[in-house]
A = this chain, B = another copy of it.
Amino acid sequence: MALHKNKISLRLRRVAIDTYRENVAYLNRDCDIYRAEGFQALNKIKISANGQTIYAVLNVVDDASIVQPGELGLSEQAFDQVGADEGFSVQIAQAEPPASMDAVRRKIAGARLAMEDFRDIVFDIINNRYSKMEIAAFLVASGESGLDREEILYLTRAMTESGQRLNWHEEIVVDKHCIGGIPGNRTSMLVVPIVAAHGMLIPKTSSRAITSPSGTADTMEVLARVELSPSHLHDIVRQERACLAWGGTARLAPADDILISVERPLGIDSSGQMVASILSKKLAAGSTHLLIDIPVGPTAKVRHMREALQLRKLFEYIGDRSGIHLEVIITDGSQPVGNGIGPVLEARDVMQVLANHPDQPADLRQKSLRLAGRILEFDPDVRGGYGYSIARDILDSGRALAKMEAIIEAQGKQPLEHTLGKLHFDVSADSSGFVTAIDNYHMARIARLAGAPMDMGAGVDLFKKVGDRVQKGETLYRVYAEFGADFEFARAMSVHKSGYSLGEESAIPKGYMEI
């Protein structure tokens, strides 16, 4: 290794602080090699060690027990990225702002960006060159009407190319995706075993919840391991024609995960970003046929049919130009799907449907069969219109349950059964009438405050759904929590507002139908 003159080194130290998706470096204020304050006002510093370069925000430390002068501390995730031991020599420098921020500024000024610009932006993002505020700037500038259809296509391509791409070497690799926003909507865990039992290849990877009370990966984890290495996942898919795993290990479209980590807390979710995010992940995963589920309802992400149709056109435009066979289904998003919200409760719903249990939530079964039926019709041998009944046969015959059990076995069954949270309270009707609406957003919020998805047994169990008649004092839903503080947060929220609307029978809305 060459001797670098003039490069003055600091000793690397791991600082046991988890800074959640933002690299942070710690420098003692009395460091006599670099003046910490000079770096601090800047956006990021560049850290070179062990042939690696990473970027981090700088915090200045006034406590030598955390970081001594002459040391460079790195937060847990930053330390892992450097991949060197403590005591290793590292150099730091003021980081130039990422070059692609020029393109972001041009976008802010209203310019149209080229394919090359999106490639540069995505490259800088996956290399941790962007701070959260720079990502926010990009997202806002390219949100809403900020991107035209060609630019959304460029962004999709750039994100697809930003990580690994899988190739299953089969003609038909199917997938489904719901744009989200509906609690309890665990159709994937039913669609996947049905479709795989038919013999189609459906290597389903899902995300964990970010701001929702459970993602498919969180719910599946109640039953089986979901963090599997890419090679292990590959073997499972080859054996079972399916998997139900967390997508994070595969490094598919990694830029997307970073963008989402800013988008969600900001509560911005433009259609262009959404389409690019979903399609880049599916393209990277090697899907050839994709069904997109757009739920529409007054408290869903998409609130009006006209918006849903607009979004469908955009999916179709980008899908067609990306060489994926894509179909969009618009579904009823007027209330949560199934009864449970939260990992354990949702897993219970799924297993009840698979086992044809008398208490199974009818809406979850019905919706899953409809989605599975559409996917089965991607099979050239299935006659148009027959998918639904094939799906129903597979479910009712127990073949879907058997397939689910095989998938669970292959991924690694959870040794212990997860139970519901030990604390609970009921929310009951303050008048008699009919349930006319259930606020998706609010129910998700209560479940989340109760501890979901972190506490798998926390969540909300809905006893009544839209259209049900209730008597004053009857229980509408039950909230489960594991920790006292969470219990109180959730209770305070449900006292503030239950999330249920009760009214006359005539006020029960008619659901949106499949298109």
Interface window among A60-68, A112-120, A319-327: A60-68
Could you give, for residues 244-281 of chain A, a 1 whenever the CB lies within 8 Å of some chain B CB and a 0 otherwise?
Answer: 00000000000000000010011110000000000000
B454 touching A34, Cβ below 8 Å: no
Q: Assess A20 versus B33: contact at CB under 8 Å? Given A133-B262, A136-B137, A267-B105.
A: no
Q: Is the CB of B60 within 8 A of A484?
A: no
Q: Whole-angstrom distance between the alpha carbons of A38 and B448 in the complex?
A: 9
Q: Provide a sorted-by-A list of 10 A–B residue pairs whose CB atoms are within 8 angstroms.
A: A6-B488, A16-B63, A17-B63, A20-B41, A33-B485, A38-B455, A131-B132, A136-B136, A137-B266, A140-B141
Identify the 8 closest CB pairs spanning chains A and B, nearest first. Answer: A16-B63, A133-B136, A16-B62, A136-B136, A18-B60, A140-B140, A43-B265, A132-B133
Judge if A69 is at the interface, Cβ distance under 8 Å.
no
Q: Is the CB of B140 within 8 A of A8?
A: no
Whether A207 is near chain B, meaning CB under 8 Å from some CB there, is no
Q: Is the CB of A38 within 8 A of B451?
A: yes
In chain A, positions 184-225 with a C-beta closer than 8 Å to chain B are: 210-211
Give chain B residues whose Cβ lies under 8 Å from the Cβ of A507. none
Query: Which residue of chain B is the closest to A41 with respect to CB atoms?
Result: B210
Chain B nearest CB, measured from A418 CB (Å): 16
- A489→B135 CA distance, assembly (Å): 27
In Å, the complex CA distance between A214 and B326 comes to 57
A19 within 8 A of B: yes
Interface residues of A in 113-148 (CB under 8 A from B): 131-137, 139-141, 143-145
Cβ–Cβ < 8 Å partners of A454 in chain B: 35, 37-38
> Which residues on B sit within 8 Å (CB–CB) of A76?
62
| With A18-B61, A134-B266, A267-B101: A8-B38 Cβ-Cβ less than 8 Å | no
Q: Kindly identify, within residues 38 to 63 of chain A, every residue whose CB is under 8 Å from any CB belonging to chain B.
A: 38, 40-43, 58-63
Nearest Cβ in chain B — how far from A129, in angstroms?
13
The 8 A CB mask of A443-467 against B (1 = contact, 0 = none) is 0000001010011000000000000
Does A384 belong to the interface (CB within 8 Å)?
no
Q: Which residues, 78 to 137 on A, are CB-close (under 8 Å) to B?
A: 93-94, 97, 101, 105, 108-110, 131-137
The chain B residue sitting closest to A484, CB to CB, is B8
A483 at the interface (CB under 8 A from B): yes
Minimum CB distance partner of A488 in chain B? B6
Tallying the copies of this chain within the complex gives 2
Q: Which chain B residue has the least Cβ–Cβ distance from A42?
A: B265
For the complex, give the distance between the alpha carbons of A173 and B485 in Å. Answer: 55
Q: Does A29 make an interface contact (CB < 8 A)?
A: yes
Given contacts A35-B451, A137-B268, 10 further A-B contacts (CB under 8 A): A17-B66, A35-B455, A41-B210, A41-B211, A42-B211, A93-B489, A131-B132, A132-B133, A136-B137, A136-B140
CB neighbours (8 Å) of A484 from chain B are 6, 8, 33
List residues of A whose CB falls within 8 A of some B CB.
6, 8, 15-20, 24, 26, 29, 33-35, 37-38, 40-43, 58-63, 65-66, 75-76, 93-94, 97, 101, 105, 108-110, 131-137, 139-141, 143-145, 210-211, 262, 265-268, 449, 451, 454-455, 483-486, 488-489
CB–CB B59/A19 < 8 A: yes
Residue of B nearest to A38 (CB): B454
Chain B residue contacts of A75, Cβ below 8 A: 59
On chain B, the residues within 8 Å of A42 by CB distance are 211, 265
Q: How far is the CA of A58 from the CA of B24 in the complex (A)?
A: 13
Q: Quick one: given A8-B484, A485-B33, are A266 and B133 in contact (CB under 8 Å)?
A: yes
- Residue from B6, B93, B108, B136 in contact with A134 in the complex, judged by beta carbons closer than 8 Å: B136
Max count, chain B CB within 10 A of own CB: residue among A58, A59, A94, A484: A59
**What's the minimum C-beta distance from A275 to chain B, rounded to whole angstroms?**
17
CB distance from A215 to the nearest CB of B (A): 12
Determine how close the nearest CB of chain B comes to the CB of A350; give it in whole angstroms: 24
Contact A61-B16, Cβ < 8 Å, known A132-B133, A210-B41, A266-B134? yes
Contact B65 A65 (CB under 8 A): yes
**Bound CA span A108–B20, Å:** 26
| Complex interface: chain B residues within 8 A of A110 (CB) | 144-145
B contact residues around A134 at 8 Å (CB): 136, 266
